[in-house]
Amino acid sequence: MKIVHQNPKTGEIKLIAENLDDIWHLYNIITEGDLVRAVTFRTADDHKDDRIRAVKTEKKRMKLGIKVEKVSFHEFSNRLRIQGVIVEGLQDLGQHHTFNVDAEVLEPITLVKETWRQHDIERLQEAVQQRTEPVLLFVSLDEDAAAIAVLRQSGVQLIAEVDAHRSGKMYETKETTSEYYGDILGVVKTTKTPGTPLVIIGPGFAREHLIAYGKSKEPSLFDSFVTYATGYAGMNGINEAIKSGIVDNITKDNRVSKETQAVEHLLEEIHKDGLATYGPKEVEEALQRGAVDTLLISDVCIRSRHGEELLDLARKTNSSFLIINSLHEAGKKFESLGGIAAMLRYKL
């Protein structure tokens, strides 16, 4: 995230979303009632009253401000949709409009809030600090298939799946093996950017074979890499690796890794009836009694009034908090618990 300008007196911040992680951060920061200004495209006023149009009217570039009604995060299109009513501009005041914030376009937007919540400010600061933080590129494979995925701050994004096209071991040849590993390297080569750590995981010997093949065919891709044995290949293997904490050894302070380990620890404590509780009423009571060490709350619940009240309670009782992204695997597990839980200082 790049901050272009900010004015604390007016609550105004002009910024540029530079990647998918920034889009995700904005999704969690922008809320109903905020004012968003951006350059957009809309049919000009001088064509508005034409009853008969010989050709499709061309939309013109203009700057508008909308009062936000809805925000939608489209992970696989790298796009954020901000919908609302036009309150600033030279035309169409009171009408609805949608801003599409694209991670590849790098157009600035201005966000104005009457009151900036503390966790919104912290999230924005985090996004700015992570501008230079590399994502991870996972290759998770066995002898039959591979999954190539990127780990971002917003979650795990599957890039491609590669099949070995084997009918059985008796049909395995050097040609089919080379084609399989060559296809994997082709995806890695087009996805990996300089400075992006490469992590090769999976069961058995396929990962060692890929490394040997890659070093001989594309040595520049293997200047720096990490390999790790997992019980599964594919996306299951990637999730297993994230749970293990391997990400922390490669790149510091990755949100997905931190959130995954927090949820796994929560589930362990719940299973053994230990220092954990979950549910809106149960967590609120624990906060009021000063028993909460860490409040865990989903990005869905945080957007509700009750979520805000729980955060305020956490601050008043010196409890830390962690917002859990509901899009990755651990986040979905957490949502199934209701999206509100707490690690306790002592058992109630």
Mean pLDDT per 10-residue interval, the chain, length 348 residues? 91 90 88 94 67 62 94 78 95 93 85 91 84 80 94 85 72 70 94 88 94 93 91 95 84 78 95 95 96 94 88 92 88 94 94
Half-sphere exposure of 52 (CA within 13 A, CB side): 1
Q: What's domain 136-250's architecture?
A: 2-Layer Sandwich (3.30)
Half-sphere exposure of 170 (CA within 13 A, CB side): 0
* Segments of the chain assigned to CATH 3.30.1330.30: 255-344
Give the residue carrying structure tokens 């400075």.
195
Contact present, 6 and 37 (Cβ < 8 Å): no
* Segments of the chain assigned to CATH 3.30.420.60: 136-250
Q: Tell me which amino acid residue 136 is.
A: L
CATH code, 2-130: 2.30.30.870
Q: Which CATH number fits domain 255-344: 3.30.1330.30, 3.80.30.20, 3.30.420.60, 3.30.1310.10?
A: 3.30.1330.30
- C-alpha–C-alpha distance, residues 156 and 242, integer Å: 10
State the pLDDT at residue 170: 44
- C-alpha–C-alpha distance, residues 200 and 322, integer Å: 29
Residue 260's nearest CA partner among 310, 327, 197 is 327
Contact present, 296 and 258 (Cβ < 8 Å): no
State the pLDDT at residue 52: 47
Q: What is the CA radius of gyration of the chain?
A: 24
State the pLDDT at residue 134: 61
95 DSSP 8-state letter: S
Under 8 Å CB-to-CB from 168, ≥6 apart: which residues? none
